[in-house]
Structure formats: C-alpha cells, structure tokens
Copies of this chain bind each other. A is one copy, B any other.
Amino acid sequence: MKIFPYPMLTPPPFRWHRDEAIAEPKVHEWIRPLHLDGSSPFENKGIDIAILGAPLSRSSISASAASETPDAFRRAWRSFTPYNLEEDVDLTPLRVADLGDVRQHVTDIAQCHTHIRNAMTALRHHLPQTLPITIGGDHSITAMLIKGWKEAHPTEQVGLLQLDTHYDLRPLEEFGAANGTPVRNLIESGTLKGSNVWNIGLHGYFNSRSLKHYADQVGVNGITLKETRKKGIAATIRHALSHLDKEVDTIYLTLDMDVLDLSNGPGTPAGMPGGLRTDELLEAMLIAGAHPKVKAMDIVCLDPRKDIGSITVFTAVNAMLNFMVGVIKRGEA
C-alpha cells in the first residue's frame, strides 16, 4: 500500500530528472517532490515551503482549464533559475517540496472541496513549520484552504490580502462554492472578518454595484487600481499589510491572475483590459513575501489553454518566485 502523505493527495504526475552532479540546478531541479513514502526529500530535514496543486476548475462560473495549471507550473519551472539577479538573492537555501495534487473527483465538487480543506488542515498539523503555496484551480479553493487553516488554528485571526479584478462576494445561495464566492463564503461562515480582507487591483466594469455595497457593508477594504496607482503599488501593499499586521495573526495571500491587464495576462477566464501591469504584480509579490505574517498563499484562475505564448504561466511562476525572494528577505529584516 502506498502511504503518500495524506490520503487526499496524489504525487505529482511526473518528476523531473535531477542530475546530482549539477552544481547549479534550475527551478525544476531545485524544487523536489516528496518521497513516495511521504518523507522529506531533504535528507529528513524540514520543508520550508510546500507546493500543493489543487487542480479543480469545474467549480468555475465560466468554463476553465485552470485544473491544468499545477502541471503547467511544473513544466514551466524548467525555464527559471532559482537565482534572482535584480535582488541578488539565491533561493536554493530554501527547502521547497512539491507535495503533489489534492485528489479530485470528476463529478462530486463538494468532495473535491472537502479534500482541499482537509489537505490544508493536515498540512498544518504535520508540517507546522512549512509555508504552503497552493496552485489552483479556480478561486473557490481559497475558501477551502483558509477554512482548513482555521480548523488547524481555531484561535487565530486570519486576514486576506487579495489581488483580484473581482470582489468574489457573489451570493452563495445562487452559486455555491464557486470561483465568484470565496470571500463571501469566508465572511458568512465567520472564518474571516470583512474588515480583515484587503482586495487590491479592483477595476473597470466587472463587479456589480450591489457587490460594492455588500463589500462596504461588511467592511471589505477594496482598493481600486485607480487608488492603487495614486500611491503606487508598493505603498498600497505595505499599507494593507500594516493594517492587517495589527489585526490578525496570519495573513493569507491570494493572487487571482485575472488582476493582470489582459495584455499581460491573457490566460485567465475573466481577464480584462485596464488591469495591473506585470511589473506592479512582481513588486507586490516581493513585498508581500517579506512580511512575516504572510504564512500561506495561493495562485488561482490561470487557464493555461487560454494562455498566449505562455506569458501568464511564466508570469505566475515569476510571481511565486518573487514571493519566495520576499520570504528569504524576512530573515534579513
């Protein structure tokens, strides 16, 4: 019998060959899959960061192949080194493990969600020192991941730093746990306070007026892109982090790739013109990664089949690596 970490996980579908003789690995050689018996790939040392695939997109309002993103990520790693030249930061001291994917069901979405939630709870119990990065899947997973976190840490206050074009506050009665409802789900279930949600990058004509009213009512801090650019992305992110820092124990970072301008992120189900630029996103990730209370993150709503020239997949990987550069810098501060 196979004893891969937790019953709700499956190993990564493929493993990169890793030539032990190579002095400088590329990202796909540096990030290592868990051993099949569930033990750490780092000679039984701890894992700093765990990457978890959540290949679920049948809960997406519009058709989406975001379920293919975890594998698209794994393939794209090959195009990156774990060394950031601009920051002169080497990521290889971080022990990063690929835990594989949360087991999914073809037709039982509720079961998929339960697995995702339980995976996070189990992760927190088994690997409490490890920062989890989940690769979606659609945005419905974020509600599950934070609920799973909360189950493991019931006394914690959790805050949400969200980069998104949308509020994700649509009514649960109508949609269920879909990609349009995770934040409402978290607020209505009492998992988060609305006032501990900071959503940055909202823009354009992609939220109805009633959602804005609901957001205001429950105290969600929605910072539009227009406001963001007035003070700059760096100051805006720092502002949100400093507020959250005062209110919560754990900040969960969620990056909905559709926050990008359509020319910078064509590979999302709902990307639109007028969004964030790539350089703004990359700077945001560096800053968020450096904050010590940011203890988990996810990247969602990236549809690799809609992508053009792999730009969205590469940008998402770059964003994740920038987050890790931030993590490394925590020690320096």
Residue A150 at the B interface, CB < 8 A?
no
- With a 10 A CB-CB cut-off, give which of A2, A20, A174, A208 has the most chain B CB atoms: A208
- With a 10 A CB-CB cut-off, give which of A24, A107, A206 has the most chain B CB atoms: A107
The answer to whether B308 and A82 touch across the interface, beta carbons within 8 angstroms, is no
The answer to whether B212 and A88 touch across the interface, beta carbons within 8 angstroms, is yes
Which chain B residues lie closer than 8 Å to A27 at the CB level? 205
Stretch from A116-124, A154-162, A188-196, A310-318 forming part of the interface with B: A310-318
Q: For this complex, into which size category does the number of interface residues on chain A fall?
A: 35 or more
Residue A43 at the B interface, CB < 8 A?
no
Stretch from A44-52, A59-67, A126-134 forming part of the interface with B: A59-67
Residue A217 at the B interface, CB < 8 A?
no
Which chain B residues lie closer than 8 Å to A305 at the CB level? 63, 305-306
- A89 to nearest B CB, angstroms? 9
CA separation between A63 and B272, bound complex, in Å? Answer: 22
- A73 to nearest B CB, angstroms? 14
The answer to whether A318 and B15 touch across the interface, beta carbons within 8 angstroms, is no
Stretch from A235-243, A246-254, A261-269 forming part of the interface with B: A261-269
The answer to whether A107 and B176 touch across the interface, beta carbons within 8 angstroms, is yes
CA separation between A207 and B61, bound complex, in Å? Answer: 31
Given A17-B15, A65-B63, A203-B86, residue A274 in contact with residue B263 (CB < 8 A) = no
The secondary-structure label for the interface of chain A is: loop
CA separation between A84 and B225, bound complex, in Å? Answer: 12
The answer to whether B175 and A106 touch across the interface, beta carbons within 8 angstroms, is yes
CA separation between A175 and B111, bound complex, in Å? Answer: 12
The answer to whether B210 and A23 touch across the interface, beta carbons within 8 angstroms, is yes
CA separation between A43 and B11, bound complex, in Å? Answer: 23
Interface flags for A85-98 (1: CB within 8 Å of B; 0: not) read 11110100000000
Given A2-B19, A262-B309, residue A206 in contact with residue B273 (CB < 8 A) = no
Residue A81 at the B interface, CB < 8 A?
yes
CA separation between A148 and B181, bound complex, in Å? Answer: 32
- A282 to nearest B CB, angstroms? 6
Which chain B residues lie closer than 8 Å to A2 at the CB level? 19-21
Residue A278 at the B interface, CB < 8 A?
yes
Which chain B residues lie closer than 8 Å to A266 at the CB level? 308-309, 311
The answer to whether A314 and B272 touch across the interface, beta carbons within 8 angstroms, is yes
Interface flags for A1-13 (1: CB within 8 Å of B; 0: not) read 1100000001111
Q: Residue on B with the closest CB to A267?
A: B309
CA separation between A107 and B177, bound complex, in Å? Answer: 7
The answer to whether A273 and B318 touch across the interface, beta carbons within 8 angstroms, is yes
CA separation between A83 and B226, bound complex, in Å? Answer: 15
List 10 additional contacts besides A81-B208, A107-B140, A204-B318; criterion CB under 8 Å: A2-B21, A81-B207, A85-B204, A86-B224, A86-B227, A90-B209, A262-B310, A273-B314, A273-B315, A274-B318
